[in-house]
Amino acid sequence: MTRRALNARSARISRPVPFGRVAAVTLALLVIGSGVAPGQAQAQSVFNSGGLGLQTDPMDARARGVGGVGVGLSGWQMLMTDPAAAAGLRLPSISGTFQPSVTQVSGAPEAGGTRFPLVGTSYPFGRHVFTAQFGSLLDQEWAVTAERLVDLAAGPTPALDRYESQGGIGQARLGWATRIGEQLAVGVGVGSLVGSVERRFTRELESGAVEGGLENFRQVGEWRVSGATAIAGVNWFPSDLLHVGASLEWVGDMTLAPVRGTEGVDRSYSMPLTLRTGGTFTLAPDVRLVMGVSRADWSGVDGDLGGDAARDVVWGYGGGVEWARGTVRGRAFPLRMGYRVQELPFHVRGEAAEEKALSAGFGINLADAQDLPLARLDLSVERGSRDAGALSEEYWRTTVSLRLAGG
């Protein structure tokens, strides 16, 4: 069954809901999402404390649901990890993803927050599709506290040290994609790293130690992130049953420039060259197998971080199935399951870290026009864990993506 045939089947069984309502919901989500740049996402993990932060791939709910690495998924979509996947979008579109999560660290209070890992828009022009996207890259929101005893003339005085990191690093990218014949699509994107990082150290001494009270000691620094990024990808459809994709992402040196009176000079960190490849194999008319693998070379950053702070090569792999036969009130309702393993680039407490997640999710076309889906919602839920030696945490992560128009 061809892609066109699948879409036509979907159109026949769908009853469009009022387009205005869908548009309003979608736009509201995107407005909220666009107001919070990916680099300012809220924290969700103590693993953010490793190196330059926790790697947060800019993937949508569908990619999360099938455990993929964000490349080689069937259908056309906007993914920062797969620039060629936008080549078949026939209508202008906007899409957004938000991602609430709750994390339970062993021996620590529960933490949680919401991230906006992917926001984008596309515009087809002839055989070409142009995209603009914001996506997440590294989450740096975390804190650590320690109780100390400080020797003063009055005697040992309790003190509380707190080190906080706020902010995050994202990427903004302009892309282009096109189809070459019926079996090939290519895409490229260029952009820059965006975001800021704020680090704050506070020492608070028990105020009663000195008559008149002690001030807190604060050391604060803020840095603006910059750096170039580019990606190239290809999607290949050798048959109706197989869809293969690959992308190569390059990020130049990431520079942190001090701002707002922060002392010091610019700091640069080498960023990785990331290769992603994956594919979708149609096992049965409504059953698809998705698999993918990624490889990123972070060896350059190790020296920048003082050595033994990062892995040289980081692998990620995962896979899952998508069952497309389900319907809800006559609307297509694909169900997904997947499993994904991602090595994390930065050591945490000197230990190599890894993330694993079991995922499930669904999608639904909220509105169709003939064979074109005008509004689509995807949702996935992940139950995952991160481990680094004795440190571990478990999390629930929900990813919701909405795409308006696009075709």
Partner 1 sequence: MVALVGVGCTDAVPTLDDGDSIPVDARTVEVIVPFSDFVESLDVFAGFGSRSDAPALHVALDYEGDFQARSLVRFGVLPRTVQVFPPGETQTVADSAYVPVGGRLVVTMDTIRFPPAEPVELEAGAILSEWDVVTAGWEAAVDTLGGVRMWDEPGGGPVRDLGRAMWNAQEADTVVFAVDSVTATAWATESNPALRAARISSATSGALMELRTARFVADVRSSVNPDTVVSISAGAIGSTFIYSPEPGVSPTEIRIGGAPSRRAFLRFNLPTRFEPGSQVCQELGDLCPLDINPDRVIYAGLVLTGKGSEPAVFTPRDTIRMDARPALAEGRIPRSPLGSAIPAQPRPLLPDALREGRRVEVPITAYVESLLAQDLGLRDEEAGEVPRTVALLSPFEPTGFTFASFVGPGQEGEPFLRLILTLSEGELLP
Q: Which is nearer to partner 1, 100 or 252 (CB)?
A: 100
Q: Which is nearer to partner 1, 92 or 221 (CB)?
A: 221
SS3 54: strand
Task: Answer for the pair 156, 186: CB distance below 8 angstroms, yes or no.
Answer: no
Per DSSP, the residues of 295-363 read: EEE-HHHHHHTTSSSB-SEEEEEEEEEEE---EETTEE--EEEEEEEEEEEEEETTEEEEEEEEEEEEE
Q: Which is nearer to partner 1, 49 or 122 (CB)?
A: 49
Residues 6+ apart with CB under 8 A from 284: none
Reduced 3-state DSSP string for 181-227: CCCEEEEEEEEEEEEEEEEEEEEEECHHHCCCCCCCEEEEEEEEEEC
Q: Which is nearer to partner 1, 54 or 405 (CB)?
A: 54
Could you give the CA distance from residue 105 to residue 401 in angstroms, rounded to a whole number?
A: 27
Q: Which is nearer to partner 1, 200 or 356 (CB)?
A: 200
Could you give the CA distance from residue 59 to residue 243 in angstroms, rounded to a whole number?
A: 18
Closest distance to partner 1 from the beta carbon of 157 (Å) = 8
Q: Which is nearer to partner 1, 34 or 255 (CB)?
A: 255
Closest distance to partner 1 from the beta carbon of 121 (Å) = 23
Closest distance to partner 1 from the beta carbon of 219 (Å) = 5
Q: Which tokens go with 375?
A: 């509004």
Closest distance to partner 1 from the beta carbon of 348 (Å) = 9
Closest distance to partner 1 from the beta carbon of 147 (Å) = 8
Closest distance to partner 1 from the beta carbon of 280 (Å) = 25
Could you give the CA distance from residue 198 to residue 365 in angstroms, rounded to a whole number?
A: 41
Bridge partners of residue 255, in order along the sequence = 226, 268
